[in-house]
Structure 1
Amino acid sequence: MPLGALRPSPLVEQAAQRLREQIAGGHWPVGTKLPGETTLARELGVGRSTVREALRALAGAGLVRPRHGAGVFVIATEPVEDWPTRLRRAAVTDVYEVRMGVEVQAARLAARRRTPEDVAALRAALESRRTAAAGDDAGFVDADIALHEAVVAAARNPVLAGLFTEFVPVLRAGLVTLLDLTRLREEDPGAGDATHAALVDAIAASDAERAAAVLLAELEETLGLLRQRA
């Protein structure tokens, strides 16, 4: 099947898209060696440099792989999603299960590594959460997440912090929806205040296992509610 010449416009993007369509459609199955740059350039009606950049884009998407001295081979028919994209597409319950592992470990580390400044930040975040209880659900969720971010920050582990940051958009959307559906805050505007206070106290007291246990119980309860609404 001929590829067909391209119209003027971002040629690299067009070339990459046309090649991607051919791969996804099975024209070049996994394991197939692609035609050479000269052949592709002629069929697409572009220069070899454009083809070269398009192939780099496909390699970055995990569709092809160059082999030195042998050519470019198809290794997948669907692009590999990056981590943020995968999180955005994931169910909030799946994200929450991973969050539990990340944040419970962070609570342990925070209790062992926290500084007086960290404790002050945690207590300030707890007070902000209490103040936010008088506002709407979105503001309350933001304050709640800020407290949890302070816990992760006190763990002094940039990998854990980075993972938690990636989770935040999905978590925020899921929690706002949960509060809207369940009306949990109608009777208790500061839902979970006692648990969060206990978490801060455990970290301040350097009680790693208590901090982990308190947070695990709180997250499991929320996960249960999310599953009911899924």
Structure 2
Amino acid sequence: MIRRHPLAEQAAEELLQRIGSGEWPLGQKLPGETTLAAQLGVGRSTIREAIRELAGRRVLESRQGAGVFVIALQATEDWDKVLRKADIADLMEVRLAIEAEAALLAASRRTPADLKMFRYTLADRQKASVNAPDDWYVEADLAFHRAVITAAHNAVLAELFDTLVPRIRRAMMDMLKLDETHRHRHDQAAHEAIADAIRDKDPERAADRTRQHLSAVRSTVS
């Protein structure tokens, strides 16, 4: 019997447990709302909300005129939760994969506007590296990396990077607190090298310089 608040979340968890226990196997149609409501001791509106939640988590699927079916035996974890729990080393590995590919593409696709943005963001980053508050410096650093992603001219890659930015920002703030030698603030040359390779239209060098830079950062936390 479901008694505690919030009812819909509790109902969703109960349904998920019953699916996981094998009561409703993969592909099985769930009982109707009235039956489920009686079994769980909640209203039909609560059952509908619980089903919507599990549909959003890709466990259930509502099919018009047919009913609700089990399409997975466990919930896919929310992407934001995955990122919040990710440790810095894992995050850096993902950045390596994404940003090295972005640099490679940028070297083939960059435009005059992209090169202008590199000059602006590099200059801004250089200024911020000298005694600026950590949050200002982090934003300046991220602006350069975002400029590289933008120069790749791939909307999906840009969207993926943007989903990582909040977690990257927190990771950078954490790393700066532990960086007594200010090593991260003094790697302007590594960023200049990435921009130079993209400007020279050298994809392999651009990707390699990006890998070298991010690998050096990762080595400080692994």
TM-score, length of structure 1 as denominator length = 0.81
What runs of 5+ residues in structure 1 fail to find an aligned partner?
none
1:182 positional shift:
2.0
**Matched residue, 1:56:** 52
CA 1:14/1:28 → structure 2, altered by over 3 Å: closer, same or farther? farther
1:22 positional shift:
4.8
2:12–2:53 contact (8 Å) kept in structure 1: no
Segment of structure 1 superposing worse, 171-180 or 35-44: 35-44
What runs of 5+ residues in structure 2 fail to find an aligned partner?
none
C-alpha distance after superposition, 1:180-224 (max 9, x if no partner): 112232xx6841111111111111111111111111111100011
Query: Partners in 1 of 2:181 and 2:126 — Cα distance?
Result: 15
1:143 positional shift:
0.7
Query: Partners in 1 of 2:109 and 2:167 — Cα distance?
Result: 28
Q: Secondary structure at the match of 1:184?
A: coil
1:94 equivalent to 2:90? Answer yes
Query: Partners in 1 of 2:203 and 2:12 — Cα distance?
Result: 53
Amino acid at match of 1:142: E
CA 1:18/1:224 → structure 2, altered by over 3 Å: closer, same or farther? same
Q: CA RMSD in A?
A: 2.6
TM-score, length of structure 2 as denominator length = 0.84
Segment of structure 1 superposing worse, 162-171 or 18-27: 18-27
Count of residues in correspondence between the two structures? 216
2:30–2:70 contact (8 Å) kept in structure 1: yes
**Matched residue, 1:154:** 151
1:174 positional shift:
1.4
Query: Partners in 1 of 2:181 and 2:46 — Cα distance?
Result: 56
Q: Secondary structure at the match of 2:221?
A: helix
Percent identity between matched residues is: 38
Segment of structure 1 superposing worse, 200-209 or 122-131: 200-209
- Of the candidates 199, 210, 215, which is equivalent to residue 210 of structure 2? 215
C-alpha distance after superposition, 1:84-108 (max 9, x if no partner): 2211211121111011011001001
1:136 positional shift:
2.0
Amino acid at match of 2:48: R
